[in-house]
Amino acid sequence: MARTLVTGGTGFVGSYVARELVAHDHEVVCYDLSTDTATLEKLGVADDVTVRRGDVTDPVDVLSAVRETGVDRVVHLAALLTNTARDDPRAAIEVNIQGTANVFEAARAEDLERVAWASSAAVYAPPGNYPSRDASGLHGPVTEDDLVYPDTLYGATKEYNEHQARVYAEEYDLSLVGLRPTVAYGPYRETGGSAFLANIVEKPALGESFAVDYGDQVIDWQHVEDIARAFRRAVEVDAGDLSRAVYNVAGVSASVREAVETMRELVPDADLTVTDEGELPWTQRLDDEAARRDIGYEPRYDLAAGFRDYADTLREEHGLEPL
């Protein structure tokens, strides 16, 4: 039985990763500054994991957590996301860069079997920086070999993490797998630069109105359960199957307007308004062929199924009938 430590393990993605690992016979330690198990409890796994309070910026604490819990692999998710990184650059560098170094150092000291760690699609430049590749004139999809040129501090820290991982793998023979998720959605997300998009689902699911900008701009919508499966696969896959150090993992590409229409089909009387104002910063069309081939990544949720699952979870909590 694998024993896996998940940094950021009580957060949104971390809790889903913990549940996915438990379902596949991992013993799981959730390592996080927050010991609030609310999301783990909602997912039904709070009693199946060990929660250990810890700080990835403290190298001694990270090493102690790995050593004392006897884990043989790590899923490293702890990070300050886009808005928090922008508001506190120093903390972002300490958490995202130094924290990742501390995890890699612990893996080196304890000779861990694998670290699967979170990079991000935020490493890519805005869409307009990539040439169109077909008659449609659309930009992308981008591959792992395309130029990365992040325009946010968060993205810059993730680009640096990729360099860190490459050096640690080459110099110290560590088995490291980085994943670049896109826009995560699903029940219980509260933070991050794209968290506001949750209201496209949550507001109409509960009979409330919502207005959103960005009209025909395309987002890659990735259900959090698909992301969790990707990290579970990445921490389990045989090293011989890997052809890359970092992999794109994508969901379903759809415009904000298409997402709104999807919710209107699920909730015909939904009071949703969409405008063409504003500009999204993300590059959202990713080529994830390598992840599908090497780690067996296969998203299960299309937009309608993902939104229905999300909405029904919320409606059940509020005593409402499913859609």
Average pLDDT over residues 185-192: 84
Q: What backbone torsions phi and psi does residue 199 show, to the nearest 5 degrees? A: -65, -20
Q: Considering the entire predicted model, what is its pTM?
A: 0.95
Tell which wins on pLDDT, 234 or 127. 234
The pLDDT confidence band at residue 6, using thresholds 50, 70 and 90, is very high
In this prediction, residue 290 carries a pLDDT of 98
End-to-end C-alpha distance for the chain, whole angstroms: 39
In this prediction, residue 218 carries a pLDDT of 87
Residue 215 pLDDT exceeds 80: yes
In this prediction, residue 134 carries a pLDDT of 60
Q: What backbone torsions phi and psi does residue 290 show, to the nearest 5 degrees? A: -65, -40
In this prediction, residue 279 carries a pLDDT of 84
Handedness of CA 181, 183, 186, 188 (dihedral sign): positive
Quote the CA–CA distance of 40 and 5 in Å, as a whole number. Answer: 15
Distances (CA, A) of 89 to 96, 154, 255: 10, 9, 31
Q: According to the CATH classification, is domain 3-185+222-250+281-299 in 3.40.50.720? A: yes
Residue 137 pLDDT exceeds 70: no
Total Cβ atoms within 10 A of residue 137: 8
For residue range 41-67, list pLDDT tens digits in order: 999 999 999 999 999 999 999 999 999
Average pLDDT over residues 125-138: 68
Residue 3 pLDDT exceeds 70: yes
For residue range 22-32, list pLDDT tens digits in order: 999 999 999 99
157: left (phi over 0), alpha (psi -120 to 50) or beta: alpha
Q: Which amino acid is at 199?
A: N
Quote the CA–CA distance of 86 and 230 in Å, as a whole number. Answer: 27
Biggest alpha carbon distance in the chain? 59
Residue 210 pLDDT exceeds 60: yes
Residue 138 pLDDT exceeds 60: no
Tell which wins on pLDDT, 198 or 236. 236
In this prediction, residue 16 carries a pLDDT of 98
Residues 76, 93 contacting (CB under 8 angstroms)? no
Tell which wins on pLDDT, 264 or 132. 264
Quote the CA–CA distance of 259 and 272 in Å, as a whole number. Answer: 11
Residue 304 pLDDT exceeds 90: yes
In this prediction, residue 284 carries a pLDDT of 67
Q: Which helix (H) or strand (E) holds 75?
A: strand 73-76
* 70-86: burial string, b at 16+ Cβ within 10 Å, e else: ebbbbbbbbbbbbebbe
Given the structure tokens 């949703």, which residue do they identify? Answer: 272
Q: Which helix (H) or strand (E) holds 310?
A: helix 303-317
Q: Which helix (H) or strand (E) holds 247?
A: strand 246-248
Average pLDDT over residues 268-289: 88
Quote the CA–CA distance of 201 and 194 in Å, as a whole number. Answer: 13
Quote the CA–CA distance of 56 and 32 in Å, as a whole number. Answer: 8
Domain positions in the chain are: 3-185+222-250+281-299
Mean pLDDT in the chain? 94
